[in-house]
Amino acid sequence: MTYLLLFSVFVVATCGLIYELITGALASYLLGDSVTQFSTIIGTYLFAMGVGSYFSKFFYRNLLNVFIEIEIVIGIIGGFSAAFLFVAYEYVSSFRFILYTIIFIIGCFVGLEIPLLMRILKDRFEFKDLVSKIFTYDYIGALIASISFPLLLVPYLGLVRSALLFGIFNVAVALMTIVVFKTEIKSEKFLRVKAILTLIIMVIAFGYSERLVSSLEVQNYRERIVFKKNTSYQKIVLTQSHGDMKLYLNGNLQFSSKDEYRYHESLVHVGLGQIDKPRRVLILGGGDGLAAREVLKYPSVEEIVLVDLDDQMTGLFKSNPILTSLNQNALTHKKVQVVNQDAFVWVKNNRRQFDFVIVDFPDPSQFALGKLYSRTFYGYLMSTVGIDGLIAVQSTSPYVAKKSFQIIVNTLNDVGLYTRPYHVYVPSFGEWGYVLASRIPIEIKDSTWALPAGLQFLSQEMIPFLFQFSKDLIGETKEVNRLNNQVLVRTFEQEWENYGHYEN
Amino acid sequence: MKTDRREFLKYGLLTSSAFLGSIYTFHQRRSRSTEELNYTGELIDQSERGHQLRKAMAMEPRGYEEVPVLIAGGGMSGLLTGYYLKTHGFNNFRIVEMNDRIGGNSSYGENAVSKYPWGAHYIPLPNMENVELVTFLKDMGVAKAGGKNVEFSEEYLCQDPQERLFMRGEWQESILPSKNITREDQDQLKRFHDLVEAYKYKKGRDGRFVFSIPVMLSSQDPEHLALDRISFDQFLKKNNFNSDVVHWYMNYCMLDDYGMGTDLVSAWAGLHYFCSRRPLGQYDDHRILTWPEGNGWVLQRLEEILKNHIASNQAVIDIHWQGPKRVASRIFDFQSRQMTACQSHALIFSAPQFLSQYLFKQKTDLPEVDADDYYSWVVANVTLKLPANELNKLHWDNVRFGSKSLGYVHARHQELRARTDGTTVLTLYWPLYEKNHTATEIRKKISGMSWQQWAQQVVSEFEFMHPGISKHIRNVDVKVHGHAMMGPRIGRMQKVFTTRSRYQNKKGIFFSHTDNSGMSLFEEAHFWGHQTAREVLKYVGIS
């Protein structure tokens, strides 16, 4: 029987360390900066264990009962800790407070265990044996935990299920103790029912945890999620922190409200500002309406056709008050016509010509998106502008993905378009590139631009400098992106690999 | 301390079995729920018409008509023969097709999601010397310019990523295994590659390439034709290709083009698969043309051009050669159940040639072909909604190493539409070939198999590659091709090169079918269509 208690030391030690590792991993996963997360979690946990050990002296009677109760409580709190924290992360703004509170509570209870067990066992061993045995099992448990956590638990079960599994072990220890020492504990029946009920609940939770985990679908967003929607085509996530709003599509940042003006002013005005009295503008992609907002600054514009695949995306930016204040209700403006269609198919069937065309697609991170940067697509795109019209293409980062950028330029040239690449610095994205394309050569003169008033970033004088490329922004390649080679997606994948932004 | 060990064990066992038990029932429940069919579908079996025809054989004709040139069979060969008659200004012909739709092995289907193939689904880029085919592709709007500068429309070239292989638990790019194989496998694959490269440009003493497409352009140098007398297996053994990986790959390729394994295919035909295609201009020799409906795309264009010449739901039987320019036959209409007598100057037999012994009155001078040259295929079109992670990784052709099936093709791969909600059609190809079983034995074995039985096999094949995918499946349509295609067994090529002239004994009877070549390839259908049309035109006095 005594050895059963020693075995429970082993189990309890394993469980204790597992909870610590789970919360540490979870915190660094959600909050980033694993060094900070792990040290603060470990520190808090150890300190809480100390607090628990201190309070152990206030328990005098029915130590076995106390031990059993503690096991059940740890089983519940520890077992559900990971699931609870994941949920809390998505819905609660003071996540850190909850995180450390939970760590502290678990730590306190785990800290109670060993002193209590030592006192329970004190009459059954000599002191030197007792100390040696207890700590031996304690440390072996720690070893097992620390090895199995990265090798078995995380890869095969994941954090939520691992926590539940070890919660079950804690309660199982409680139940076994009840059964084995039934003569020595008070109100044994009541405790037994309680332990069995808890065990059943946890086993059921474990059984359903797969569904729970998939519904949580833990994201890698550092900010608080204020909106999340899976549409037929993409996952839209809107986050907010410190007054900064960010839009992610499939986990890739689309804009940050702090500096999106840099991106969109550059996308729109560098081209549109050179066109004399533009009347008709086509926007491909750009369902957030931010490019349209910039275009609407030109009073001569009579009509904007915006083609974006996802009606849920444009719907969101038409109706959500925070977002419509950001795009200044551009999508519901009477000059703007929103078409929810695949841009490739739309452009292929289109027979109209526009003065200015904005191509604002997601980066070519998948083969499906790579089609929108292909020679075939640009061939059709060419016929959307008149002979003196201009096309502006968002073209990923010429710093991170210089070859990709050059491939986009090459592909536009290959269908017979003349190009002038330019770039700006957008803090959220880094160095960002665009390509201006036209059916006739594009001249850059100082005085060509007629910019609307009230821009925050661009000015007449600086625009010519955007066309200057430093040496480290120039990629050497002659490749052309075709549907049958998708060389852009392959190059893009390689170039962004080290940056880890794209994980579709 | 009164508790005894037995009691401890009892409770210990109880708690742990409660734990394990609940996990077990949980899994049980899940696996049972996936067994309920969540998809619809149908079995398309074409053997019915054959039985009906056999019954109709005894019927006496009621009407009579004259069709100067009658083409029996509306597959790709018959249609292309008609196409070349028409493009040369000859219009007095009719193409008779037994089924309700023309197309044969190039037929296709369509549902609300996509068009999809029921058979042949791609055309490799032709060799430069195959000028007629390049011209044909230009006329179809697939190619531009000519000679070395020929340019194929990007919309019809197979888009990247083209093919991938599921091997030892993970996908790798290209069907030719390169990852997770031993050094020895790699060496043998390299050695085979070198052998192929050498053969590609090798010429016989007659100055022709040893292996060419169309087959009739290949060298007939006896030294190389000797390869037709041994099996591809024997050739591989003789050249010390004994790795399992190499063997799987070779066997896969043989099944893919010929419907039979390396043990039956002649070594000449086996090497022909690898060595007969050479790069064309800017394109390497792996480039292919494909469409959502496969070669059904070409079919639709031909159908439009030939629409006034096609009579479907009809079969030509009882072909009787009565002398030059006098070919009698009877035509049975499956819908009106009428038999009509028919008199022609020329009859072009464009149906599978094992049928000739049933359909010709005189049994002499017929192609030396029998039903065992044709193995069966099953093609399944699976409509489903793929989750984004699976959809983004799809290639055009997706193959599983070691599988009996040939893998599946993604019908919407060629669509220009950049993003979809994941609803698509996947076409699974399954040659029913078993070593040491004749084609007839296999046909007997599969006769009477229900849709449910086929669909289950199809779905479990998909489950192998994509665990959990079955819950996304909405529809599984299955088509059984009883005599799918002729495969070039040992000795076939010898016959291909030498026996054709014997058919000429009966002036007015022409055989225009890929069976003339011993292999069911689009290029061969085109070659015989073009060739036969010219011969027929000469015969009827047009040119």
The DSSP annotation for A342-408 comes to -HHHHHHH----EEEEEEEPPPS-SHHHHGGGSHHHHHHHHTTEEEEEEEEEE---TTT-HHHHHHH
Domain count, chain A: 2
Contact A32, A219 (CB under 8 A): no
Are the beta carbons of A232 and B159 separated by less than 8 Å? Answer: no
Distance CA B472, CA B289 (A): 29
A309 lies in the same domain as A208: no
Going from the C-alpha of A288 to that of each of A337, A384, A395, the distances in angstroms are 14, 22, 18
Of A276, A284, A299, A12, residue with least CA distance to A137:
A12
How close A109 comes to chain B (CA, Å)? 24
How many other C-beta atoms can be found within 10 angstroms of the C-beta atom of residue A129? Answer: 11
Distance CA B525, CA B512 (A): 8
A298 lies in the same domain as A442: yes
Is the model's pLDDT at B88 over the cut of 50?
yes
Residues in A touching B287 (Cβ below 8 Å): 484
Question: What is the structure's pLDDT at B240?
Answer: 95
Residues in B touching A345 (Cβ below 8 Å): 416-417
A-B interface: how many C-beta pairs under 8 angstroms? 106
Residues in A touching B3 (Cβ below 8 Å): 1, 179-183
| Site from B28, B419, B471 to mutate, A interface, most A CB atoms within 10 angstroms | B419
Highest-pLDDT range among A116-125, A260-269, B504-513: A260-269
Structure tokens at B539: 């015969």
Question: What is the structure's pLDDT at B36?
Answer: 65
Instruction: Classify residue B4 by its DSSP letter.
Output: -
pLDDT class of A28 with cuts at 50, 70, 90: confident
Question: What is the structure's pLDDT at A399?
Answer: 94
Question: What is the structure's pLDDT at A43?
Answer: 93
Q: What are phi and psi for residue B217, nearest 5 degrees?
A: -85, -5
Question: What is the structure's pLDDT at B64?
Answer: 95
Which among B7, B26, B159 is the nearest to A179, CB-wise? B7
A285 lies in the same domain as A418: yes
Which among B11, B159, B388 is the nearest to A483, CB-wise? B159
Question: What is the structure's pLDDT at B13?
Answer: 45
A19 Cβ contact partners less than 8 Å away, ≥ 6 residues apart: A74, A78, A81, A106, A110, A163, A166
Point out which residues pair with B72 in neighbouring strands. B96, B349
The boundaries of the domain holding residue A117 are 2-216
By the 10 Å C-beta count (0-12 exposed, 13-18 middle, 19+ buried), A343 is classed as buried
Are the beta carbons of A207 and B392 separated by less than 8 Å? Answer: no
How close B21 comes to chain A (CA, Å)? 10
For the stretch A187-237, pLDDT in tens is 888 889 999 999 999 999 888 877 776 666 544 455 667 777 888 888 888
- Amino acid found at B440: T
Q: What are phi and psi for residue A471, nearest 5 degrees?
A: -60, -35
Highest-pLDDT range among A135-139, A183-187, B159-163: B159-163
pLDDT class of A447 with cuts at 50, 70, 90: low
Average pLDDT of the residues of chain B:
90
Overall average pLDDT of the A135-153 stretch:
89
Average pLDDT of the residues of chain A:
89
A358 lies in the same domain as A425: yes
Q: What is the CATH number of the domain that holds A401?
A: 3.40.50.150
Q: What is the CATH number of the domain that holds A141?
A: 1.20.1250
Task: Work out the percent of chain B whose per-residue pLDDT is above 70.
Answer: 92
A289 lies in the same domain as A352: yes
Distance CA A107, CA A84 (A): 17
How close A410 comes to chain B (CA, Å)? 16
Pairing of the two strands A430-438 and A385-394: antiparallel
**B47-106+294-370+493-540 has which fold?**
FAD/NAD(P)-binding domain (3.50.50)
Which among B1, B391, B416 is the nearest to A345, CB-wise? B416
For the stretch B45-63, pLDDT in tens is 777 888 888 888 888 899 9
Distance CA A297, CA A290 (A): 12
Question: What is the structure's pLDDT at A446?
Answer: 66
Going from the C-alpha of A299 to that of each of A265, A294, A451, B243, the distances in angstroms are 16, 11, 12, 73
List b or e across B319-345, with b for residues whose CB sees 16 or more CB atoms inside 10 angstroms.
Answer: bebeeeeebebbbbbbeeeebbbbbbb
Are the beta carbons of A1 and B1 separated by less than 8 Å? Answer: yes
Strands in A244-249's sheet, in edge-to-edge order, are A224-230, A235-241, A244-249, A252-256
For the stretch A299-328, pLDDT in tens is 999 999 999 999 999 999 999 888 899 999
A304 lies in the same domain as A203: no
Of B458, B407, B432, residue with least CA distance to B165:
B407
Question: What is the structure's pLDDT at B23?
Answer: 42
Are the beta carbons of B417 and A345 separated by less than 8 Å? Answer: yes
A203 lies in the same domain as A298: no
Which of A216, A245, A277 lies at the terminal end of a domain, its last residue?
A: A216
Contacts from A156-159 at CB under 8 Å and sequence distance 24+?
A: A158/A213, A159/A22, A159/A25, A159/A26, A159/A29, A159/A82, A159/A86
- Amino acid found at B229: R
A23 lies in the same domain as A169: yes
For the stretch B314-332, pLDDT in tens is 999 999 999 888 999 999 9
Return the domain boundaries, chain B: 47-106+294-370+493-540
Tell me which chain A residue has its CA closest to the CA of residue B19: A203
Question: What is the structure's pLDDT at B1?
Answer: 39
For the stretch A40-51, pLDDT in tens is 999 999 999 999
Is the model's pLDDT at A351 over the cut of 90?
yes
Of B375, B410, B414, residue with least CA distance to B396:
B410
How many other C-beta atoms can be found within 10 angstroms of the C-beta atom of residue B244? Answer: 11
Distance CA A104, CA A110 (A): 10
* Residues of A recognised as catalytic: 360
A290 lies in the same domain as A396: yes
Are the beta carbons of A203 and B18 separated by less than 8 Å? Answer: yes
What does pTM read for this prediction?
A: 0.77
Distance CA B151, CA A207 (A): 58
Is the model's pLDDT at B246 over the cut of 80?
yes
- Amino acid found at A428: S
Dihedral (Cα; B289, B294, B298, B299), 10-degree rounding: 160
For the stretch A388-427, pLDDT in tens is 999 999 999 999 999 999 999 999 999 999 999 999 999 9
Residues in B touching A181 (Cβ below 8 Å): 1, 3
B503 Cβ contact partners less than 8 Å away, ≥ 6 residues apart: B365, B367, B509, B510, B511
How close B27 comes to chain A (CA, Å)? 9
How close B460 comes to chain A (CA, Å)? 23
Are the beta carbons of B159 and A486 separated by less than 8 Å? Answer: yes
Question: What is the structure's pLDDT at B17?
Answer: 45
Are the beta carbons of A375 and B287 separated by less than 8 Å? Answer: no
Is the model's pLDDT at B5 over the cut of 80?
no
Distance CA B407, CA B400 (A): 6
Are the beta carbons of B159 and A371 separated by less than 8 Å? Answer: yes
Question: What is the structure's pLDDT at A188?
Answer: 84
How many other C-beta atoms can be found within 10 angstroms of the C-beta atom of residue B205? Answer: 11
Tell me if ipTM is over 0.90: no
Question: What is the structure's pLDDT at A283?
Answer: 98
Going from the C-alpha of A109 to that of each of A40, A54, A176, B250, the distances in angstroms are 18, 11, 19, 65
Q: How far apart are the first and last CA of chain B?
A: 111
A39 lies in the same domain as A183: yes
A207 lies in the same domain as A314: no
Contact B345, B508 (CB under 8 A): yes
Are the beta carbons of B23 and A368 separated by less than 8 Å? Answer: no
Length of chain A: 504
Residues in A touching B8 (Cβ below 8 Å): 4, 176, 179-180
